[in-house]
Amino acid sequence: MAEDVLAAMDEAEGLNGILVVTRDAWARSLASRYGAAVLEEKANRGQSAAVADAVRELARAGAGAALALPGDVPLVSPAEIDRVLAAHGPAPAVSMVPAGDGRGTNCVACSPPDAIRFHFGHDSFEPHKAEARALGIEPRILAGLPGIALDVDKPEDLRMLLAQGGSCRAFAWLNGTDIPARLAGEKGNR
């Protein structure tokens, strides 16, 4: 899934670079294959802390904006990323793509990069909107981006990924395992 996300980001026309926050050697190697910079994570403090570290670093480096994507949205496309970037306005601005369940946030673009505090998790969408509004920024909400909307957190998400199909690496990998059969068996036992 992480490679699917990096490949889409690498092919997106509107990004000036990619920064991966990790403490994992495999992820560092994968990032280097896509020309991404790596911010070494000292401890696993969660997605919100990792994104906060990244945007602080980008702001220090003089970046005018940042786009945060998790590594578990394997159907994301370069066109979807470019659509978020095209809709994102001048600073101060916050643009968000909700998770498919409407509760989580699967993509956030911020100008400046550290415009808001991050609240990633299963119920992050409303807190992210509230953060932006508390600063006088009306967030742009982008719906209709199914690749970004599908994050893989639980077995039901894998079922949805398998049902949607496609040519992503995660889909191909799943079909080379017994996971689809196991998921079908679990569904049949309910």
The ranges assigned to domains in the chain are 2-149, 155-188
pLDDT confidence bin for 143, thresholds 50/70/90: very high
Is the CB of residue 2 less than 8 Å from the CB of residue 30?
A: yes
Q: What residue spans of the chain are helical by DSSP H? A: 2-11, 25-33, 47-60, 78-87, 125-134, 146-149, 155-164, 169-175, 179-188
Q: What is the pTM of this model?
A: 0.93
Q: What does the pLDDT look like over 45-78, one tens digit per residue?
A: 999 999 999 999 999 999 999 999 999 999 999 9
Indicate whether 30 pLDDT > 80: yes
Q: Is 179 exposed, middle or buried (0-12, 13-18, 19+ CB in 10 A)?
A: middle
Output the CA angle 107-110-112, nearest 5 degrees: 160
- What's the pLDDT at 188? 58
Please write the tens of the pLDDT for every residue from 7-19.
999 999 999 999 9
From CA 99, how far away is CA 105, in angstroms rounded?
5
* Cα Rg of the chain (Å, integer): 17
Give the torsion sign (CA, 114, 119, 123, 126): negative
pLDDT at 37 over 60: yes
Distance CA 176, CA 79 (A): 27
Q: What angle do CA 154, 166, 177 make, to 5 degrees?
A: 55
Mean pLDDT, range 70-99, rounded to an integer: 97
Class of domain 2-149: alpha beta
Give the C-alpha distances (Å, rounded to integers) separating 85 from 50, 73, 97, 104, 107. 21, 17, 11, 20, 11
